[in-house]
Chain A
Amino acid sequence: MSSATVSADEARALIAERFSGSQVEGTSPMVVTVAPDAWLPFAAFAKETLGCRFFSFLSATDWKDEGLEVVAKVDNADTNLSLLVKSRLGAGVTTCASLVPVYRGADWMERECYDMFGIRFEGHPDLRRILLQDDWVGHPLLKSYAVDTPYPPYR
């Protein structure tokens, strides 16, 4: 079985075998929830074993008291296997492993995610703001960051 021909069912079995603590739901996209320490190993596994070489996007969600959740989307362009990988970092945690060693596309995506959520991606070669200017205060997509922000230049 080469990585180019992994079907959805085979992928489900492989994920259950390698990442026993993960949850898998749905088919398009197949939503996989992994532990934060499995974030980077799972990305490498998705690319090598499941053939998901197409890196679509990486972002995060702020669940207020429950903490931040990172989310990434990868595809296998040959079999149309489509994975949405999620991981809850836990309350108060703002560090996460960088996916740049596996996917080069994670470079800009993680910079944006750092810019918007303040998540520090460990192992990123050049983590700095990308959309906002370098002296911006705060991370706008956090739920605690009000739309009528108290930060300069608006106040």
Chain B
Amino acid sequence: MTTVSTTRQELDYAGSERLTMNMGPQHPSAHGVFRAILQLEGETVVGVDAVIGYLHRCHEKLAETLTYAQYPSIASKTDYVAAMTSEFAYVMAAETIGKIEVPKRAQYLRVITSELQRVASHLLWLGTWCLDMGGALGGGATIFLYCIREREDILDLFESLVGARLLYGFYQVGGVRYDIPDGWAAKCRETVDLIDQRINEYQRMLEENPFFLVRTQGVGVISRDLAEDVGISGPLLRGSGVAFDLRRAAPYSSYEDFEFKIPVETAGDCFARYRVRMVEFRESLAIVRQALDKLPDGPISSRPGLKSVAQTRIPKGETYARVEGARGEVGCYLIADGSAKPYRMKWRGASFSNLAVLPHVIPGHKVADVVAIMGSVDPVFGEVDR
């Protein structure tokens, strides 16, 4: 009598065993809670099943129970590494449906904070990614500690502006909550100049390191076709040869007033994504400088005062608002029914789509490359699971 094998082992054509390896959910390279069930042939990955949802809080249901004044500070908990841009998408959706004007000064303050946030987020990405590939980079934690040091400077700026270092609640429907305090602009310029210099230093440290190049060049190639099909966005999409940046493609919040380049690389590998982000650092810093130079006077909100904000009601309508976050297109599809709370809110997290590309890219790579590829995707699990 033949029996059906119930073990997980399968035999491949060469007669060797396939091994199922569990990576995560508490693996340090995941930067959060992410489980990948890898099918291995020797050291080569032949199949990936990604398990997500460990951080799921059902933000979309939450948004239906919270008012337009309450939700922005919860929105920052989706992508908690770039909280400013998450809040931005939500308030922009509400403002679009309600046809609420945002004063020019508030628009500029939004630009300054989003760009500083992008730099802070990219710094955390660079540091942790290099730490993941640690041993190969001679010195391991060096870049990580440098990047965290610079990120702290930006968080200090946010702290003196908002009072919080990570989750802000700075944006609100109609404008922003606080104006910049005395001396903030000067301090900001100092920080920007400092980071601008140090980025060059890091770039030299990494690009003159042959181990870094070997571990990133030609690894994790995402073709343009796959990139668009899966809907990855931000630095990943631009690393695969698509010049698509919402700040240029569909300008919002006065981005058309600033001059900046959209970096594009065509290789589609980890190194290309790294190069795109390295240019984005400098472009973001340049935007901050321009915005500080041109910062207009005037009110910071078209709905000043606590009462007016708390009573925000948005008329019937629907829209899809999107901003270019640090990880790509952060979108908010909002349906308003005329009350103080939305009828439906769909959160399009950039990391969710970016992570969805992994099962298409990882097979064929070694286990060690999985770490490099995952780091180059830069997922934030608050935004994946929402």
User: When A28-B250, A57-B333 are in contact, do A116 and B60 touch as well, CB less than 8 Å?
Assistant: yes
Q: Residue A36 at the B interface, CB < 8 A?
A: no
Q: Residue B231 at the A interface, CB < 8 A?
A: yes
- Distance in Å: Cβ of A4 to nearest Cβ of chain B: 12
User: When A29-B320, A73-B333 are in contact, do A55 and B60 touch as well, CB less than 8 Å?
Assistant: no
Choose among A57, A116, A130 the residue that contacts B52 (Cβ–Cβ < 8 A).
Answer: A130
Q: A56, B348: Cβ atoms under 8 Å?
A: yes
Choose among B58, B242, B329, B333 the residue that contacts A140 (Cβ–Cβ < 8 A).
Answer: B58
Choose among A57, A61, A105 the residue that contacts B229 (Cβ–Cβ < 8 A).
Answer: A105
Among A6-14, A15-23, A77-85, A88-96, the stretch in contact with B: A77-85
Choose among A29, A53, A108 the residue that contacts B352 (Cβ–Cβ < 8 A).
Answer: A108
Q: A57, B346: Cβ atoms under 8 Å?
A: yes
Q: A131, B53: Cβ atoms under 8 Å?
A: yes
For A26, give the chain B residue with the smallest CB separation.
B319
Taking CB atoms, residues of chain B closer than 8 Å to A103 are 229-231
Taking CB atoms, residues of chain B closer than 8 Å to A61 are 335, 343-344
Q: A104, B230: Cβ atoms under 8 Å?
A: yes
- What string of 1s and 0s marks CB contacts (under 8 Å) between B307-340 and chain A? 0000000000000101000000101010100000
Q: Residue B356 at the A interface, CB < 8 A?
A: yes
Q: A131, B356: Cβ atoms under 8 Å?
A: no
Q: A105, B56: Cβ atoms under 8 Å?
A: no
CA distance A57 to B233 in the complex (A): 12
Taking CB atoms, residues of chain A closer than 8 Å to B61 are 140-141, 147
Q: B244, A77: Cβ atoms under 8 Å?
A: yes
Taking CB atoms, residues of chain B closer than 8 Å to A105 are 229-231, 353, 356
Taking CB atoms, residues of chain A closer than 8 Å to B386 are 131
CA distance A82 to B322 in the complex (A): 12
Interface size for B (C-beta < 8 A) is 36
Which of B228, B237, B333, B356 has the largest number of chain A CB atoms within 10 A?
A: B228
Q: Residue A71 at the B interface, CB < 8 A?
A: yes
CA distance A104 to B357 in the complex (A): 9
Interface of B is mostly: mixed
Q: Residue B226 at the A interface, CB < 8 A?
A: yes
- Distance in Å: Cβ of A116 to nearest Cβ of chain B: 7
Taking CB atoms, residues of chain B closer than 8 Å to A80 are 249-250
Q: A71, B229: Cβ atoms under 8 Å?
A: no
For B60, give the chain A residue with the smallest CB separation.
A141
- What string of 1s and 0s marks CB contacts (under 8 Å) between A40-69 and chain B? 000000000000011111010110000000
Q: A82, B228: Cβ atoms under 8 Å?
A: no
Q: Residue B99 at the A interface, CB < 8 A?
A: no
For B243, give the chain A residue with the smallest CB separation.
A77
Taking CB atoms, residues of chain A closer than 8 Å to B290 are none
Q: Residue A132 at the B interface, CB < 8 A?
A: yes
Q: B333, A59: Cβ atoms under 8 Å?
A: yes
Q: Residue B189 at the A interface, CB < 8 A?
A: no
Taking CB atoms, residues of chain A closer than 8 Å to B356 are 105, 107-108
Q: A53, B320: Cβ atoms under 8 Å?
A: no
Q: Residue B115 at the A interface, CB < 8 A?
A: no
CA distance A64 to B59 in the complex (A): 20
Q: A57, B250: Cβ atoms under 8 Å?
A: no
Choose among B228, B331, B344, B385 the residue that contacts A77 (Cβ–Cβ < 8 A).
Answer: B228
**Could you write out 25 A-B pairs with CB less than 8 Å apart?**
A28-B250, A53-B228, A54-B231, A54-B233, A55-B228, A55-B353, A56-B331, A57-B231, A57-B331, A59-B346, A61-B335, A75-B244, A77-B237, A77-B242, A77-B249, A80-B249, A84-B333, A105-B230, A112-B352, A116-B60, A129-B53, A130-B53, A131-B385, A141-B58, A147-B61
Given contacts A105-B353, A108-B356, A130-B53, 9 further A-B contacts (CB under 8 A): A54-B228, A61-B343, A71-B333, A82-B250, A104-B226, A104-B229, A108-B353, A132-B56, A147-B65
**B residues near A, CB below 8 A?**
52-53, 56, 58, 60-61, 65, 225-226, 228-231, 233, 237, 242-244, 249-250, 320, 322, 329, 331, 333, 335, 343-344, 346, 348, 352-353, 356, 360, 385-386
